[in-house]
């Protein structure tokens, strides 16, 4: 964990502070607090129904927690609309792929550039001068993401026609096209074969190392989680039962009892 070896702990980029969320009688999250540090890979693990996706939904503004605060770079996110949170530099992928199915890969990634562009209806319809130049500049950025993720040969394909593994990769690409400061990934490797998983893990590490993007990663594959993350938060029944480096978490008695014991249920 950052700060172990006497180096002062950097300021947290995101502070999740006593977040509580219920749906009617169902308590999805209660009193969740932990920090996410800049440039790290922060894993969130826990059995199905533990509240991991709900927590990401609170961060991206899709759910509104009844208690607590989520401060991102000093700003409380709770109460902001999802598109406002996106503008602050938070991007994400979804557990069940949520791409724009009828559009091509390039168009999906260009949508990732939405917050960085200005063009409106009139400049788009005229497609002339500054409006056209803007499209081309951002297309160049998108091409860099396409190269990074090695999806050159499918760039003009309609997303709905791609395999599951490729769709997951395109969804990561759309989030990367946003050039985010915080990237939330909800089970990016679920349902993949081992080769696809390896590729995905490599991309996540590349993004983390080369672009210093902070990553919050929900993942079931314990091998991958322990390999690539800096810190791990463990949720169970909506509560944070452990937090620390992968080694600390692995040794935590509650985790061994609660999570590793239920590993079959988690899959």
Ligand X SMILES: Nc1ncnc2c1ncn2[C@@H]1O[C@H](COP(=O)(O)OP(=O)(O)O)[C@@H](O)[C@H]1O
Q: Measure the CA–CA gap between 13 and 214, rounded to whole angstroms.
A: 9
Name the token pair of 209. Answer: 């190392």
Least separation, in Å, of the C-beta of 52 and Mg ion?
A: 5
Q: Which of 14, 16, 28, 215 binds ligand X (CB under 6 A)?
A: 28
Site string for another protein, 201-230 (x = CB under 8 A): ------------------------------
- Quote the CA–CA distance of 109 and 98 in Å, as a whole number: 13
Q: Residue 148 interacts with another protein (CB under 8 A)?
A: no
User: Which residues, other chains included, contact 241 with Cβ-Cβ below 8 Å and sequence gap of 6+?
Assistant: 234, 235, 252, 254, 255, 258, 259
**Strand pairing partners for 91?**
183
Q: Which is nearer to another protein, 156 or 264 (CB)?
A: 156
Window of 94-102, 188-196, 243-251, 256-264 that interacts with another protein by CB under 8 A: 94-102
Total of residues contacting another protein (CB under 8 A): 45
Rounded distance between C-alpha atoms, residue 21 and residue 28, angstroms? 6
Q: Which residue has the tokens 């169970």?
A: 236
Among positions 33, 95, 123, 158, the unique one binding Mg ion when judged by CB under 5 A: 95
Bridge-based pairing state of the strands 67-72 and 14-23:
antiparallel
**CA distances (Å), 171 to each of 75, 166, 236, in order?**
27, 9, 27
Among 114, 220, 250, 262, binds another protein (CB under 8 A): 114
Binding of residue 93 to Mg ion (CB under 5 A): no
Shorter beta-carbon distance to Mg ion: residue 67 or 95: 95
Q: In the range 33-52, which residues lie near ligand X by CB under 6 A?
A: 46, 48-52
What minimum distance in Å lies between the beta carbon of 63 and ligand X?
7
Of 64-72, 102-110, 208-216, 234-242, which part binds another protein (CB under 8 A)? 102-110
Query: Is residue 225 within a helix (H) or strand (E), and if so which, with residue range?
Result: helix 222-228
């Amino acid at each position: 964990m950052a700060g172990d070896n006497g180096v002062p702990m950097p300021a947290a980029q995101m502070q999740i502070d006593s977040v509580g969320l219920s749906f009617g009688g169902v308590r999805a999250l209660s009193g969740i607090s932990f920090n996410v540090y800049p440039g790290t890979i922060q894993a969130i693990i826990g059995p199905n129904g533990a509240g991991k996706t709900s927590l990401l939904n609170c961060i991206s503004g899709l759910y509104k927690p009844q208690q607590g605060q989520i401060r991102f770079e000093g700003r409380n996110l709770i109460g902001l609309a999802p598109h406002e949170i996106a503008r602050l530099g938070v991007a994400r992928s979804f557990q069940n792929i949520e791409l724009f199915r009828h559009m091509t890969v390039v168009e999906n990634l260009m949508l990732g550039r939405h917050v960085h562009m200005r063009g409106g209806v009139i400049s788009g319809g005229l497609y002339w001068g500054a409006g056209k130049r803007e499209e081309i500049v951002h297309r160049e950025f998108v091409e860099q993401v396409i190269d990074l993720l090695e999806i050159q040969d499918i760039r003009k394909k309609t997303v709905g026609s791609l395999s599951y593994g490729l769709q997951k990769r395109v969804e990561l690409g759309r989030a990367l096209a946003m050039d985010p400061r915080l990237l939330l990934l909800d089970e990016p490797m679920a349902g993949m074969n081992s080769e696809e998983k390896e590729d995905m893990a490599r991309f996540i590490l590349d993004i983390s190392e080369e672009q210093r993007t902070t990553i919050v990663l929900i993942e079931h594959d314990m091998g991958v989680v322990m390999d690539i993350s800096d810190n791990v938060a463990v949720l169970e029944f909506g509560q944070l039962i452990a937090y620390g480096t992968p080694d600390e978490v692995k040794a935590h008695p509650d985790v061994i009892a609660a999570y590793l014991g239920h590993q079959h249920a988690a899959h």
